[in-house]
């Protein structure tokens, strides 16, 4: 007897370029949101630490100022790349 015919598996289509772009845009959006949230957390923690140190150690608070400043600048960064825009 001949072997029974095997059912063909349906072809798996590769995602279209549009779908890949859409998926990557979403991934970047989520990553951007996570980074923004983390930077906000850093800014808040550094401000609290600076105030606590200032109350107890005075000038040591100045060492935290660059952290707070940088994180605030990154939070305000509008997302455009820095080269050519």
Mean pLDDT of each 10-residue bin along the chain, 85 residues long: 66 87 89 83 83 76 76 68 41
Quote the pLDDT of residue 68: 79
Quote the pLDDT of residue 85: 38
Look at residue 1 and tell me if it is in a domain: no
Phi-psi region of 13 (alpha: psi -120 to 50; beta: other; left: phi over 0): beta
CA atoms within 13 A on the CB side of 4: 3
The Cα–Cα gap between 71 and 50 comes to 14
Stated pTM of the model: 0.48
Quote the pLDDT of residue 82: 42
Quote the pLDDT of residue 58: 67
Look at residue 59 and tell me if it is in a domain: yes
- Cα–Cα distances (Å) from 65 to 6, 10, 52, 70, in that order, read 70, 60, 13, 9
Quote the pLDDT of residue 60: 67
Look at residue 53 and tell me if it is in a domain: yes
Looking at the structure of the chain, the number of domains it has is 1
Look at residue 51 and tell me if it is in a domain: yes
Look at residue 6 and tell me if it is in a domain: no
Given a contact cutoff of 8 angstroms between Cβ atoms, the answer to whether 67 and 42 are in contact is yes
Quote the pLDDT of residue 22: 92
Look at residue 11 and tell me if it is in a domain: no
């Amino acid at each position: 007897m001949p072997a029974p015919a095997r059912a063909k598996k349906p072809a798996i289509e590769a995602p279209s370029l549009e779908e890949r772009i859409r998926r990557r845009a979403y991934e970047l959006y989520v990553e951007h949101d996570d980074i923004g949230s983390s930077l906000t957390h850093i800014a808040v923690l550094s401000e609290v630490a600076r105030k606590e140190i200032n109350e107890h150690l005075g000038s040591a608070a100045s060492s935290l100022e660059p952290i707070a400043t940088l994180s605030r600048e990154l939070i305000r960064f509008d997302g455009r790349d820095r080269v050519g825009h």
